[in-house]
């Protein structure tokens, strides 16, 4: 009974997904999204990308294509605190205690001078602080573990 219901629901989901149109390029921005006061934030679990080389090669192009100003990444597997350059972007990695985890922030060049500090609250939570004209802004990078793993 339960197996039959599961198969019916799964079939329905698959049919719904086939009707979606997926594009490989970002949508054309609206005039409002081009406003200089708009800050674009992004987040991505980079564990699914694969090799470290591929992460570093594709990241700047992806950020530029989607015009992301600040990106928060999870499961980076980098546990050292450092600031590196990746293309034109600044990669700010945060210290962690467990190598499978790790979080970082990537900041677009014109915002780098506004970054006042970045710190890890835990292996899965980090904060990037910026001082903007309108005041201080904290960007929080947090992710939950996979089912069955402790926070």
What is residue 60's predicted lDDT score, i.e. its pLDDT?
Answer: 85
Q: Is residue 65 part of a domain?
A: yes
Gyration radius of the chain's alpha carbons: 19
pLDDT score at 5: 60
H or E element that contains 61: helix 52-66
pLDDT at 22: 47
CA distance 42 to 26: 13
Give the pLDDT of residue 90.
92
Residue 27: inside a domain: no
Q: Is residue 99 part of a domain?
A: yes
How many domains are contained in the chain? 1
E runs forming strands in 96-150: 103-107, 115-122, 125-132, 135-142
Quote the pTM value. Answer: 0.70
Q: Is residue 72 part of a domain?
A: yes
Q: What is the DSSP letter of 18?
A: H
How many whole angstroms separate alpha carbon 6 and alpha carbon 72? Answer: 35
CATH number (domain holding residue 94)? 3.60.10.10
Query: Residue 28, exposed/middle/buried by CB under 10 A (0-12, 13-18, 19+)?
Result: exposed
Predicted local confidence at residue 47, as pLDDT? 76
Residue 28 lies in a domain: no
Q: Is 120 helix (H, G, I), strand (E, B) or coil?
A: strand
Q: Which domain holds residue 80?
A: 37-142
Grouped pLDDT means (10 residues each) for the chain, 151 residues: 57 54 53 65 77 70 89 88 89 88 92 95 93 91 75 56
């Amino acid at each position: 009974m339960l197996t039959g219901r599961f198969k019916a629901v799964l079939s329905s989901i698959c049919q719904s997904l086939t009707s979606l149109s997926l594009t490989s390029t970002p949508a054309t921005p609206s005039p409002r999204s081009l406003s200089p006061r708009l800050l674009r934030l992004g987040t991505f679990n980079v564990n699914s990308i694969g090799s470290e080389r591929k992460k570093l090669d594709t990241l700047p192009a992806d950020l530029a294509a989607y015009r992301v100003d600040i990106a928060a990444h999870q499961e980076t597997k980098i546990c050292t605190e450092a600031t590196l350059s990746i293309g034109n972007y600044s990669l700010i990695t945060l210290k962690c205690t467990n190598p499978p985890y790790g979080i970082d922030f990537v900041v677009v060049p014109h915002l780098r001078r506004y970054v006042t500090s970045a710190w890890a609250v835990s292996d899965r939570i980090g904060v990037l602080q910026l001082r903007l004209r309108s005041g201080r802004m904290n960007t929080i990078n947090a992710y939950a573990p996979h089912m069955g793993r402790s926070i």
